[in-house]
Structures are given as structure tokens and as C-alpha cells.
Structure 1
Amino acid sequence: MTKQPLRVGRIRYGLWWLEEATAGARARVRAVADGTATAGRELRWAAELSVRAATVQIDHVRPEPLNDRGLLKLMAFLAFAALGIAFVLGIGVSQWLMTAENSMVFAAAGALAVGLAVLALAFLVFASRRRRNR
């Protein structure tokens, strides 16, 4: 019995050669993807733990009313912060109206900051409210 070489067409040979040539790159990509997936799972787990801890801590907050000096300092700080927020938001909106690139980042950051300022003011308004015993 004689052994003759296996006859392979050009397309199959080209596909085999391409597979052999890219084997190392595919293995590296697979390793990077696995590492990224593992890191993503760890970050998700850490975020879940942080959210759970934050909600537990928020439930145990017992705010006390501020004295007049502390309230004045806090309101002055919030006023200066609001001026800074208004400045950044004004720049962002003016650039957005001129259709400049990357101006939505300013507008989004300003909107987020305004929301946080309103949240802080709402906390100040309801900080002295007494809780009912359950």
C-alpha cells in the first residue's frame, strides 16, 4: 500500500493556514476576555455589597437639628456650590446651543450636580422631623 498525499483544495488549505496562523492571537483574546469577565463579576459583586451596606446605613441614620451657626455655614456652602453648578451648567448649555462637540458632558454633569444639591436641601428640610416609633 502506498501513501499518497491528501489532496486538499486551495480554499480548504487557505482556511487551515488562516486557522493555524491566528491560533495564538485567538488564545490571547480568549484569555483577555476571560480576565475581563472575571473582573466584571468582581466589580458587580463589590457594587452590590456597597449598595446593600449603604441602604443599611441610610436606614440607621438619626439626624439631629443643627444650631443656627452650623445651619448658616451649611447653607452658605450650598449657596456657593450652587453658584459653581450654575456656572458650569450655563457654560455647558451655551456650548450645547452653539452645537459644540462634547458639550453634553457639561450639561449632564450640571444636571447631576443640581440633583445632588436638591437632595442635600431636601435632607436639610426634613432633618429635624421626628420619626414615629414603629
Structure 2
Amino acid sequence: MLLSPTPRGARLARLLAVAWMRDHEVPYGVTETATQIVAELAANAAATHGRVAGRSFRLALLYRPDALRVEVTDTRGGELPRTQPARPEGDSGRGLLLVEALADRWGVERGPVPRKTVWAEVALPHL
């Protein structure tokens, strides 16, 4: 899904992800975790670190046998995101720390220029 690089686009990403996961019968616990991850990554791409006016960001959800993968791609590929210690007095800077805590795996991939993709995977329960 391509979405506008605005706070509204970030909210829409979360809503569309919830609907997609419901349609694909993703287990509830995974849905809750993935929704929070989508919210954090979309906010970063749309309104914070990845925003480039007039350039959409992309949300992709991949439902694999072992995990649900969330990918958010934006067009600001210069400096790659990384976790940093949160400052108690700061209002931001905790998004990737939260993603790291919620996801079983996460990372960043470059390309093609000028894009970067931040991805996170949530393991599916074995039935």
C-alpha cells in the first residue's frame, strides 16, 4: 500500500493493517503486536524521520508460515535508523526501542536509492 507522508497517512496505515490482518485471520496476539509496530514505523516514515514532501511511503505485510513481517519503505535513505537511549525529558525517540522490544527480529535495508525499508517480524504461535 502506498500512503501519503502525513500523520493521516500513518493512521491510515495502522487501520489498513488491522483490516488486512483480520481478513487473513492473523492470531489476536500477533495482530496486537504488529499493529503497534506498524504504528511506530509508519509514524517514523510519514511524519518524522523518513518524510519527504510529495513522496509516498509504502507499507507491506507478509504472512509467512512462521512469522508476520511488517515492512515500511520511505524515500529518505541517507541515514539509517538505529536505536538510541531515550532521554527522560524527550517526547520522542522511543519508537525503535518499542519495535525492538515487540518484534522477534527487525532490521533496515537500503535501496533502491533513495529508499530504505525498516522491517520487523513477529513470530506466529505454533499450533
Q: TM-score with structure 1 length normalisation?
A: 0.24
Structure whose CA Rg is larger: 1
User: When the two structures are superposed, what TM-score results if normalisation uses the length of structure 2?
Assistant: 0.25
Bigger proportion of residues as strand? 2
